[in-house]
Amino acid sequence: MTSFSYPAHPDPVRADLAEAHRRAWRHVAGPGTWLTGAERVAVADETRRARDCGSCRERKQALSPFAVQGEHDHGAALPETLVDLVHRITTDAARLSESWYRQLLEAGLSAEVYVEALGVAVITISVDRFHHALGLPLEPLPEAIAGDPSGERPDDLTEGEAWVPMRESRKLGKEMGFPPGPVPYVIRALSLVPAELRAWKALSDAQYLSFDEMRSFDSNRALDRSQIELVAGRVSALNECFY
């Protein structure tokens, strides 16, 4: 695979970052847990389309996004519920509501598909924003890989702590090598679909820090740890992240 070559850029891109992006694209392209490879690539495509969606733009400017009716500008490859999910997550995540999530479930979307689509969208946004930051054109989306979804569903799920079921905190933490104690919700959020959690972790290890590196204040990056956290905090604030 010759993608993510980053040739002759004024800001050299680490080899492990390029490889992490290739792995992420292979993950997006392959059959997932509840979605096919074609559906997953379509989710990535809708993540990009959302940035130029007229309906999303109108909702973003409205006092309440749920006061604006209208169809999204979409690629016609996914059901309406999944298109709405991807577009709202991409353009106005801070104003999502549990009642909206429940409406998606009532319309036939499962919690498992919700989490898997979220995982694919997060990967696509992360890779695309990296390219935007460097002033590079976006990498073409991968060709879908044929195959059936695995249907893997954890057996240690808990209900009621979030909108979606999540894996039990301490068991998940032990498997992922966390120190004793509860696992942060930002880690558990994708745990209903373990493959998406593993893929997010692999990309986060390269673009930010691994779990082990988070516990150390030394840095093997070009930036020191305080600089890394300053950038991370500012990006979180601009994106209206909250946990």
β-strands 166-167, 157-158 pairing? antiparallel
Report the pLDDT value the prediction gives residue 1, as an integer from 0 to 100. Answer: 45
Long-range own/partner contacts, residues 215-222 (CB < 8 A, 24 or more apart): 215/179
Residue 77 Cα distances to 24, 50, 74, 91, 185, angstroms: 21, 14, 8, 19, 32
**For the chain, what is the radius of gyration of the CA atoms?**
18
Ranges of residues in the chain whose predicted pLDDT is under 70 = 1-2, 8, 242-243
Per-residue pLDDT of 180-196, as tens digits, reads: 788 888 889 999 999 99
For 20, how many CA atoms within 13 A lie in the half-sphere containing its CB? 23
- Give the rounded percent of residues in the chain with a pLDDT score beyond 70: 98
Q: Domain residue spans in the chain?
A: 14-150
Q: What is the pLDDT of residue 36?
A: 98
Instruction: For residue 210, give the 3-state DSSP assignment.
Output: coil
Domain 14-150, CATH 2.20.200 — does that match? no
pLDDT digits (tens, 9 = 90+) for 126-156: 999 999 988 899 999 999 999 999 999 999 9
